[in-house]
Amino acid sequence: MHDMGTENEDGKMTKVALVTGASRGLGETVSSFLAGMGYDLIVTARGVDALEAQASTLRDLGVHVEAIAGDVADPDHRIRLARAASEWSGLDLLINNASNLGPSPLPSLHEIPLIALRRVHDVNFVAPIALIQLLLPLLKMRQGWIINISSDAAQGGYEGWGAYGSSKAALDLASLTLAKELSSDNIAVVSVDPGDMRTDMQQRAFPGENISDRPWPDETLPFWAWLLSQEPQSVSGSRFEAQAESWEYSGRVAA
């Protein structure tokens, strides 16, 4: 058993978060922010070296970190994450951030190989739902919340973005549905469009182009500070744009 989930110096239980796609880009930014807030963390990503480097950085902030490399679309990996999380005293926060862009350059939806389309949806939509199903008992223990990372492509109908955008649109609808279904358990669910950022995924989406005009993921930090200061049920069912000038929410989701 791990020594995580113990009481802190104030006598309160340490908060625990699981972040997927945590080694780079937005996942790196958010996991670092959570560590700075004192969250103990379970982090996962496909790249072992990058994940271990990020885990080491997080541990330097004085929190407990368990790094488990793997692919969230792999059922066995999801089971490993759930088993690891079960050794902590509940889960306060699940951030489904890991995403698959699809082939680069981006193919049109009427030409994309179906195997690639399925892969995008497996990572971006099926895997988050599967993780939620596995982790739900732990989230119920803490009346935690779920944050699903979306995209403006979910609403834009952009050429070439059909696979990615449709997977994120499905995740948006799932987030709203789950917010309603889980409100009686006091589990909040929101989706977040982080906006365009200077990341490896953005560069793959625009191969050969200069993306230096995009902001770094740190640009979203004011949003995360605001969101995590809210009462979870008061924002449940909402979809936020992290780089908006201000953030509004629709209020508590009816049971």
CATH number of the domain at 16-241, please? 3.40.50.720
Specify burial of residue 56 (Cβ count, 10 A radius: 0-12, 13-18, 19+). Answer: exposed
| 3-state secondary structure (DSSP) of residue 2 | coil
Residues 6 or more apart in contact with residue 69 via CB below 8 angstroms: 44, 45, 46, 47, 48, 51, 52
Question: pTM above the 0.85 mark?
Answer: yes
251 Ramachandran zone, left/alpha/beta (phi>0; psi -120 to 50): left
Per-residue confidence at 249, pLDDT binned at 50, 70, 90? low
- Residue 135 pLDDT exceeds 50: yes
- Residue 5 pLDDT exceeds 60: no
- Residue 252 pLDDT exceeds 70: no
| Mean pLDDT of the residues in the chain | 91
Q: Is 34:40 a contact under the CB 8 Å cutoff?
A: no
- Residue 230 pLDDT exceeds 80: yes
Structure confidence at residue 250 (pLDDT):
52
Check if 150 is active-site: yes
Per-residue confidence at 208, pLDDT binned at 50, 70, 90? confident
Query: Which is the catalytic residue, given 23, 168, 183, 236?
Result: 168
Structure confidence at residue 4 (pLDDT):
47
Where exactly are the structural domains of the chain?
16-241
Query: Which is the catalytic residue, given 32, 150, 167, 238?
Result: 150
pLDDT for 62-71, tens place per residue?
999 999 999 9
Closest Cα partner for 34 from 12, 15, 49, 11?
15
pLDDT for 148-189, tens place per residue?
999 999 999 999 999 999 999 999 999 999 999 999 999 999
Of 11-20, 43-52, 195-204, 214-223, the poorest mean pLDDT is in: 195-204
Query: Which is the catalytic residue, given 23, 39, 99, 164?
Result: 164
